[in-house]
Structure 1
Amino acid sequence: MAISTRISQALHALPKTELHLHIEGTLEPELALRLADRNGVTLPFDGIDDLRSHYRFDNLQSFLDLYYQLMSVLCTREDFSDLMFDYLAHAHADGVHRAEIFFDPQVHMNNGLDYDLVLDGLLDGIARGRAAYGIDAALILSVVRDLPVESAQTLLDAAAPRADELLAIGLDSTEVGYPPELFERIYARAAGMGLHLVAHAGEEGTAEYIRQTLDVLHVERIDHGVRIIEDPTLVRRVAAEGIGLTVCPLSNLRLQVVDDVAKVPIRQLLDSGVCVTVNSDDPAYFGGYIADNYAALAETGLSIAALADIAGNSIEACFAPEADKAAMRTELDQWKTEYSDLLG
């Protein structure tokens, strides 16, 4: 069902955090072509319409093929700063108060870039976003799970001297065939560096992958996690332990994890007491930023009250200092007063 203008306005204004966002996944086609031209990178596309025609995916791998190809246009500190600043402008317009953002240094390093160049560019973009919009952001060092584990160790070698400028470590890319247990030593080392621990699990992989992220990697938050619904015992455990799930409805639809947004098991997980959050994953590729994901759920009939609860979950599941969380809770309460007519 279509949502009203007032509901759309409310969802954009709803104070929220974004906890599952890949900065490279915000590379809009127009920006990709502009950066390619700026950096002299040749892409095999005949203009913007041809490039857009490739944004149709059969599965996770078909998306990743294009995703990694377009990352080749990111070459300079300025490129990474512009990419970050453009995302934070979108996030601010969508009511995001804090974003905890994945980046994929291994891919950039394999493209011949220096780790510090990438980090400096992203941090510069975060500083620009904070100055322009007052939005808070932090970086999650993401390990590409289908690259050799030794590559992840090399990444941690590069990251260690500036670990205090990072928030967390994550684990992304192709899931099946690369179980969490492969990265036990990587996560133990990252924990020793003072990083929070999160990991993608239960998107392609089974609920068993989710169990491994908890028991072997000792994560504090699970990215995606929708296949947890196949294991009621695990659902109860995650609910009891307060483990957040960073669910991405439009991503699940575009990558054919589900064939209808209504089949993303958010309502069931909420009813089970799970700390479910809603996020955009790779919005340039999947048809919408975070407010679009909230709106897509509203169109399935999920109540505005439930969506407000999800926004509250996103505040609780983020890694912000407690004082910042308290301020966001206050803003959410103010939003509930302003939009009380929608809450039933």
Structure 2
Amino acid sequence: MTDTAFSTFVRGLPKAELHMHIEGSLEPELMFELAARNGVALPFKSVDEIRAAYDFSNLQDFLDIYYQGAGVLITEADFKDLALAYFKRLAADGGTHAEIFYDPQTHTDRGVAFDTAIKGLLAGMDEAEKTLGVTSKLILCFLRHLSEESAFATLEQAKPWLGSLAGVGLDSSEVGHPPAKFARVMQAARDLGLKVVAHAGEEGPPAYVWEALDLVKVDRIDHGNRALEDEALTQRLVDEGITLTVCPLSNLKLCGVPSLDVHPLKKMLALGLKATVNSDDPAYFGGYLLENYLATADAVGLTRDEIVTLAKNSFTGSFLSDAEKAERVAQVEAYAAAN
């Protein structure tokens, strides 16, 4: 088991989170609170009943309940409360920066205005920076099980908010919805000055990672585990310094790995891949950022130096400016030297 001194070191280490779906941080307690606030009927009688439902065998099982839970988010205040609850957990874990995903189509498709969600999230992000000292950026994700047409419509709705968005991403059901399906809308987003990321190689094959690189021209890969099945692809990711936003407890919960002690994170670092640690959908997958670090370190034997490398990668792989990246990396190095 991870010892107390090591846990204390990892908690205090400055780090960023680059792969976290804000809707996936909706804890059952807040879900019930918002349902009561908004008069939304839930198919669960208690918090324990919701947690019991979090027994997934695959990505789709999770997505079914994820979209159901998001139905309690109605007002700007709801989205602000959701964001603040996450940032408080992140700050407690030693997180100082986050680049959070959100899914506008999940909300607009059920009648919540595009502006409602983004205004609430931005308000929460602003308050988190002022009160917690946690900086953040917002990444709009297209739902890949929906059409390219729907993604273009969402990008059009986002245009008044371009100054508040860092980038666009692709999430939701991966298998059967390759990155190529959204190459045109992702290029349109890039033409508007946005960064581009995509989930690839979580459940989908290495071919999806190739597509994300060649057709979508991503700035980083979300997940990317299955890239290791292709030696040439792995070497390309190393050579190009592409950041992988790896989510260990998510991989375990969704049966991407049979147990955490065979998770490829340590191998990724040994190969020279620019891996990072992230929580994905922490309310559903049983662990926020610190727990992902500690559980994986314990399972695969991550060293203190490897933990420091992961923290540095989380900043150099971020969409902060070069000057901000250098400052954050210096903070990591100063902390490691002093502890």
1:209 maps to amino acid: Y
How many Å separate the matches in 1 of 2:65 and 2:153? 25
Matches within 5 A, 1:246-261: 246-261=245-260
| Helix, strand or coil at the partner of 1:257 | coil
Shift of 1:19: 0.3
Shift of 1:338: 2.4
Shift of 1:262: 2.0
Sequence identity (%):
46
Report how many residues are paired: 338
2:275 maps to amino acid: V
How many Å separate the matches in 1 of 2:198 and 2:310? 20
Are the equivalent residues in 2 in contact too, given 1:298–1:304 (CA < 8 A)?
A: no
Equivalence for 2:29: 30
Matches within 5 A, 1:116-155: 116-155=115-154
Equivalence for 1:203: 202
How many Å separate the matches in 2 of 1:48 and 1:92? 24
Matches within 5 A, 1:67-78: 67-78=66-77
Instruction: Report Cα offsets for 1:279-313 as digits up to 9, x if no partner.
Output: 00000000000110000112121112111111111
Shift of 1:259: 1.1
How many Å separate the matches in 1 of 2:104 and 2:93? 27
Matches within 5 A, 1:236-251: 236-251=235-250
Equivalence for 2:329: 329
Gaps of 5+ in 1: 340-344
Q: Which moved more, 1:249-258 or 1:126-135?
A: 126-135
How many Å separate the matches in 2 of 1:98 and 1:131? 13
| Helix, strand or coil at the partner of 1:21 | strand
Q: Which moved more, 1:44-53 or 1:227-236?
A: 44-53
Are the equivalent residues in 2 in contact too, given 1:203–1:225 (CA < 8 A)?
A: yes
| Helix, strand or coil at the partner of 1:280 | coil
Instruction: Report Cα offsets for 1:204-252 as digits up to 9, x if no partner.
Output: 0001100000000000100000001100111110100010000000000
Equivalence for 1:342: none
Are the equivalent residues in 2 in contact too, given 1:221–1:245 (CA < 8 A)?
A: yes
How many Å separate the matches in 2 of 1:148 and 1:224? 22
How many Å separate the matches in 1 of 2:288 and 2:232? 32
How many Å separate the matches in 2 of 1:162 and 1:309? 34
| Helix, strand or coil at the partner of 2:98 | strand
Equivalence for 1:48: 47
1:292 maps to amino acid: E
Q: TM-score, normalised by structure 1?
A: 0.97
Q: TM-score, normalised by structure 2?
A: 0.98
| Helix, strand or coil at the partner of 1:73 | coil
Shift of 1:264: 1.8
Equivalence for 1:179: 178
| Helix, strand or coil at the partner of 1:288 | coil
How many Å separate the matches in 1 of 2:268 and 2:319? 22
How many Å separate the matches in 2 of 1:214 and 1:327? 29
| Helix, strand or coil at the partner of 2:255 | coil
Are the equivalent residues in 2 in contact too, given 1:92–1:135 (CA < 8 A)?
A: yes
Are the equivalent residues in 2 in contact too, given 1:18–1:99 (CA < 8 A)?
A: yes
How many Å separate the matches in 2 of 1:180 and 1:245? 16
| Helix, strand or coil at the partner of 1:181 | helix
Are the equivalent residues in 2 in contact too, given 1:226–1:264 (CA < 8 A)?
A: no
1:273 maps to amino acid: G
Shift of 1:114: 0.6
How many Å separate the matches in 1 of 2:229 and 2:96? 33
Shift of 1:4: 1.1
| Helix, strand or coil at the partner of 1:183 | helix
Q: What stretches of structure 1 move > 2 A for 4+ residues in a row?
A: none
Equivalence for 1:159: 158
How many Å separate the matches in 2 of 1:116 and 1:20? 23
How many Å separate the matches in 2 of 1:41 and 1:174? 26
Equivalence for 1:223: 222
Are the equivalent residues in 2 in contact too, given 1:97–1:328 (CA < 8 A)?
A: no
How many Å separate the matches in 2 of 1:278 and 1:298? 11
| Helix, strand or coil at the partner of 1:50 | helix
